[in-house]
Structures are given as structure tokens and as C-alpha cells.
Structure 1
Amino acid sequence: MLSYSSYMLTAVAALLVTCDALPKYPGIPGLPGRDYLKGQTRLSGLRGASGSLVGPPVKQPTCLQGLPNSLNTELHKVLVNLKHRLSRLKGVLVLKGKIREVGEKILASNGKKVDFASALASCEDSRGTLTTPMNEEENKAILGIVKKYNQYAYLGIKEGEDSGQFKYLNGMPVNYTKWHQNEPNGKRTEKCVEMYTDGSWNDKKCNLPRLTICEF
């Protein structure tokens, strides 16, 4: 399914590129070229010092001709969203590992075990970030990959300046937890968080090799 989606999104992205690549009208930045302009619809706001309209009458680019303005706006939003999703999928495919989709997130792992800093850098290099479960559904999805490799995995959570206060990587406090019994108990000596193979969490030192799982 993911491969099919990639092909579809690539085609849509190509459409975006085609529209964006239309020749521009000389002297008026952002307007289509003369060969792509038809009709007598003028654009307001493009006036010279004398108050007269600059350039000949213009209309929509051929790639969107014939569509109502409201539909053009919606189509643009859809294409931008798909282009963003394609970028995320490219990052996923770079990892060439286990892939899962949960909600709006795509999870992927390259199967490598590294320390926290290296795991985070690997995800960011692929245009993602270290996976962070925000609810039970996402925790179970991450657990699915953990079980596939049968390895503990780092999560995108670290202990803050206050002992026992764990936060997401953006500095916001954690609002969903799945701590193992009697955890966390590192008392500022274990600032990272790992997921066990049963889906529960444990605070752990950040220099130990753990499975890398990224989200996009």
C-alpha cells in the first residue's frame, strides 16, 4: 500500500511542478507566460504609477483553467498537503526498515541500535524525529515495531531540569505515559526513556544502544 501511495503522490507532485514551471510574464513577477494566457479577465492591484493596469489581460494558468475559483483554492490545499506527505514518505523510504502508519503519523525503523543522540540525528536526517507516543494507539503501533526487532527502543522524551519531570523534545510536558511498575526511578541519573518489549516505559541513561524508531 505504501509503495502505491508513493507512486500516486509522486504523480501529484509532478503536477505541482508542472504548474509551478509555467513561463512567467516578463516584467510582472508571478504571472503566467503570454502563451498560457487566454480570455479577458483582468487582475486587480497590478497598477502602475499612472493608475493604469500593467500588462495585457490575464487569466488562470492552463493547468487550472475552467475550474471555479473556490475549487482552485481547495485543489491547491490538497496538492500542498500531498506534496508535504510525499516529502515525509521519502524520509521513511530512506530508512528502508519496518514501517507502520498510525493516525497522521508514519513510523519507521532501520533496525539499528545506537545511543540517544545518534538515534535522534538519524531521524532528523531523514526529515523526521524520534518517535513519541501521544496516546495508547500510538504506543501500541510503536510496540509493534519493538516486537518485530525484539529490542528496546528510545522514545522522543527526556527528563527536564526538574527531577522526575519528563518532557517531549519540544520542551512541552508529557501528557501521556506508560511507565513500567515503580518507574521512573533514575533520580536525574537516567534522563532518557526507553520502551520495553511489553510496551511499558523505563527511564534509562542516554549513552546505551537502543533501537531507532522515527516518526514522520
Structure 2
Amino acid sequence: MLSYSSYVLTAVAALLVTCHALRKFPEAPRLAGIFGLPGRDDLRGQPPLSGLIGPSGNLILPLRNGLPCVHGLPNSLDTELYDTLLHLGKRLSRLEGVLALNGKITEAGEKILASNGKEVDFASALESCEKAGGTLATPMNEEENNAVLSIVKLYNRYAFLGIKEGDTSGQFKYIDGSPLNYTKWHQYEPNGKGREKCVEMYTDGSWNDKRCNLHRLTICEF
């Protein structure tokens, strides 16, 4: 089922496509029956444009009768608006996932990190993150590692990371299969030699390989 943000994004995209068609084909029949929108002739004699005003006082999204459609605007603006709305839609989906967890939230660069405070096995932790629209927290630099650590310290619990051992013993990868570009192993770790395929974060921010069936704190990234 589509989320609310997906419906909003789809509807706005349809509006932009319709507006483009009205400008490109001025003599085309009215398109009211396609998207339930007024056609070109329906807009004649309507009230002047109003719209959303940006911080600088400029009109950033002109509206006529509530529709983001302005006859005569360049096609490039359609693309610009669509790209902006697509980005906002993605951000909204991520924020919905974060709110669904209803737990601790922090940020690191472009990532949003959150925990529901629950301790479960690796598979269950990954599943809950993916259902919320994210994945298990996977620090790829010191800043991100410190952000995950702040949640680990808050709950004072070790947490699973989005890292697993590959087919080769001792070789760990991100859960998408790509090689690690950053590590924070505790001294003498990893040492499970194929028996400990998951990775946990200690309360000092260092990593340890651990069995995947143990229960650890769930921390997701979006």
C-alpha cells in the first residue's frame, strides 16, 4: 500500500504533467476527464495567480484555483519543480519511518538515526528497520559512528550494526555486500573465525563480532 507521502507525490507529479500538456498543446481538448483537473478553457477569466511565497518574497510555486499550473512557464521549470518534489517526497518517507519507531532520534550528515529501544536478534532488528523504510545503522565514518554511539550510551546497551561476515572467514561487509570503507574494531577483534557473523557496537563505540541470534539494541538509519 502506498504511504501518504507517495500519494501526495503522485498527485503533484500528475498536476505538473497536465500543466506541461496544456502549454505544449494549446489547442488540445480539455484534460479535465484525465486527472479531474480544469482544462485550458476552464481557466479563462479565473482570479489572478496566488501561490507559495519563498523567504525572499518571490513566488516559488504559483497556484491558480489551488493548482500549480501557470500557462507560459518554461518546460525547465516543470523539471525543476518535479526534482524538488521528488526530493521532498523521499525526505518525507524517511521521516515517516523515523516517527514510526517513536524512539530516540539523532542526525549525522545526511543520515537520520533512531531507535525504538528494543533488544532483538539481528534478523528481527533488520526487519523492523526495513519495515520503517530504513536499514540497520551502518557507520561509514567517525561522525556516523559517534552518532550511533550517542544512542548506545543513552540506552547503555550494545547495538547491532548493518555489517555481516561474508563467505570468507574474518572478512566483513556491509549488508548490501559492498566492502567496508571504515572500521572501529575493538582490540583483537574480530576473532570469531566464522562463528560470529554479526557485528555489535560496545558502549565505547568500538566494534565486536558476535553471534546473530543474541539480542542487541535496534538502531536504524534513514
Q: Secondary structure at the match of 2:68?
A: helix
Alpha-carbon spacing, 1:196–1:36, altered in 2? closer, same or farther (3 Å): farther
Contact map agreement 1:64 1:72 (CA 8 A) in 2: no
Q: Work out whether 1:127 is the aligned partner of 2:136.
A: no
Give the whole-Å Cα distance in 1 for the aligned partners of 2:162 and 2:41: 49
Q: Work out whether 1:34 is the aligned partner of 2:39.
A: yes
Aligned Cα RMSD in Å?
Answer: 2.9
**Superposed counterparts of 1:1-216, under 5 Å:** 17=11, 20=14, 25=31, 33-34=38-39, 62-65=67-70, 67-216=73-222
Structure 2: gaps spanning 5 or more residues: 19-29, 45-65
Where has structure 1 moved over 2 Å in runs of 4 or more? 13-27, 29-39, 66-72
Alpha-carbon spacing, 1:36–1:143, altered in 2? closer, same or farther (3 Å): farther
How far does residue 19 in structure 1 lie from its aligned partner after superposition? 6.1
AA of the residue aligned to 2:85: L
Q: Number of paired residues?
A: 184
Alpha-carbon spacing, 1:127–1:19, altered in 2? closer, same or farther (3 Å): closer
Contact map agreement 1:185 1:203 (CA 8 A) in 2: yes
Contact map agreement 2:186 2:207 (CA 8 A) in 1: yes
Contact map agreement 2:138 2:161 (CA 8 A) in 1: yes
Percent of aligned positions that are identical: 64
Give the whole-Å Cα distance in 2 for the aligned partners of 1:62 and 1:202: 55
Structure 1: gaps spanning 5 or more residues: 1-9, 40-60
